[in-house]
């Protein structure tokens, strides 16, 4: 290693990333949340491997130099973005492309499981109960996917393969994508409402009591975006009052979901622990993606997956 070897600071999570390909090409320093603030001034690059941590938001406003590049091993960047980072010259990149199809498959699995009443079938099997039922046909139903990024587009493609008529809603209307002004009209007709938007000032709490009231009583709501997109108390009221038929949440305002949360026992609600994009080998894919980005950065080539820090996501979709 030469004196000019860049310092790569890794905000760790267990298991740590595999960065063997960077041996001799980077001085790799690992830290936990408590040590992050003290190590930031000496870092050229920060890898936010622990993408559930809020440590970057808390440590970034401190004194001293800051890394020239921050990469988060996640699609969302709300956990690290703060006004000081947004206003800086630091480049922020994300893990765009890793989670698209896995999340889409998970959403399709939820749609099929709910339509075919699989949770109750498994419950009856455990109880040794033989109870014939009729289930819903998926083909010919309507879905509204909110969030027109790569994950939202993958969800739309996968649902269309099931012959679900799918509308995509994004920040700006364009060919194949509806704008926010069409959202209420679309969700009022949808059998499946899928939240896959990034968390921004515009999307925070967008699914509130009014929006659940717009949905039809047979609708099912699915959130694979961010927990804060949803007013969870309003969703609980909508389910308890049977305003909608059901819901499936993979993300929550507080994670892990507290054991005393009323969401666990709500009728018609499927709870999963933020796992929709996590398939076998996903951490290795994230590590390999970062190494490829580092090689571009070290060679002076333009980075990809660059986040617009004011919008909170990678533009161009």
Q: Which residues are the active-site residues?
A: 226, 255, 274
Q: Which stretches of the chain are DSSP H helices?
A: 33-39, 55-59, 83-87, 100-115, 118-127, 150-161, 183-187, 209-214, 232-240, 282-298
Alpha carbon distance 34, 53 (integer Å): 11
Cα 118 to Cα 102, 123, 130, 277, 312: the distances in Å are 20, 9, 14, 21, 37
Angle between helices 150-161 and 100-115 (to 10 degrees): 40
Alpha carbon distance 159, 185 (integer Å): 20
């Amino acid at each position: 290693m030469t004196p000019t070897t860049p310092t790569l600071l890794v905000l760790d999570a267990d298991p740590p990333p595999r960065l063997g390909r960077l041996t001799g090409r980077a001085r790799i320093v690992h830290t936990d949340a408590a040590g992050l603030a003290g190590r930031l001034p000496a870092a050229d690059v920060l890898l936010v491997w622990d993408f559930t941590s809020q440590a970057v938001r808390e440590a970034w406003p401190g004194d001293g130099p800051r890394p020239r590049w921050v990469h988060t091993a996640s699609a969302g960047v709300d956990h690290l973005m703060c006004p000081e980072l947004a206003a800086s010259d630091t480049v922020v990149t994300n893990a765009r492309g890793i989670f698209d199809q896995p999340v889409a498959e998970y959403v399709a699995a939820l749609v099929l499981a709910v339509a075919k009443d699989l949770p109750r079938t498994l419950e009856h099997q455990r109880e040794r109960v033989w109870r014939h039922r009729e289930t819903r046909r998926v083909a010919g139903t309507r879905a509204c996917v909110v969030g027109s990024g790569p994950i939202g587009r993958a969800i739309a493609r996968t649902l269309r393969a099931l012959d679900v008529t799918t509308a995509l809603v994004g920040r700006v209307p364009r060919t194949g994508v509806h704008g926010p002004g069409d959202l209420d009209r679309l969700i009022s007709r949808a059998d499946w409402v899928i939240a896959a938007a990034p968390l921004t000032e515009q999307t925070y709490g967008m699914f509130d009591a009014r929006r659940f009231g717009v949905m039809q009583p047979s609708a099912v709501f699915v959130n694979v975006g961010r927990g804060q997109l949803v007013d969870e108390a309003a969703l609980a009221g909508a389910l308890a009052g049977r305003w909608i038929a059901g819901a499936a949440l993979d993300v929550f305002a507080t994670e892990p979901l507290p054991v005393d949360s009323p969401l666990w026992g709500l009728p018609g609600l499927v709870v999963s622990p933020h796992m929709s994009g996590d398939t076998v080998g996903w951490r290795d894919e994230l590590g390999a993606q970062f190494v490829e980005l580092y090689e571009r950065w070290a060679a002076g080539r333009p980075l990809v997956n660059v986040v617009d820090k004011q919008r909170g996501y990678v533009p161009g979709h």
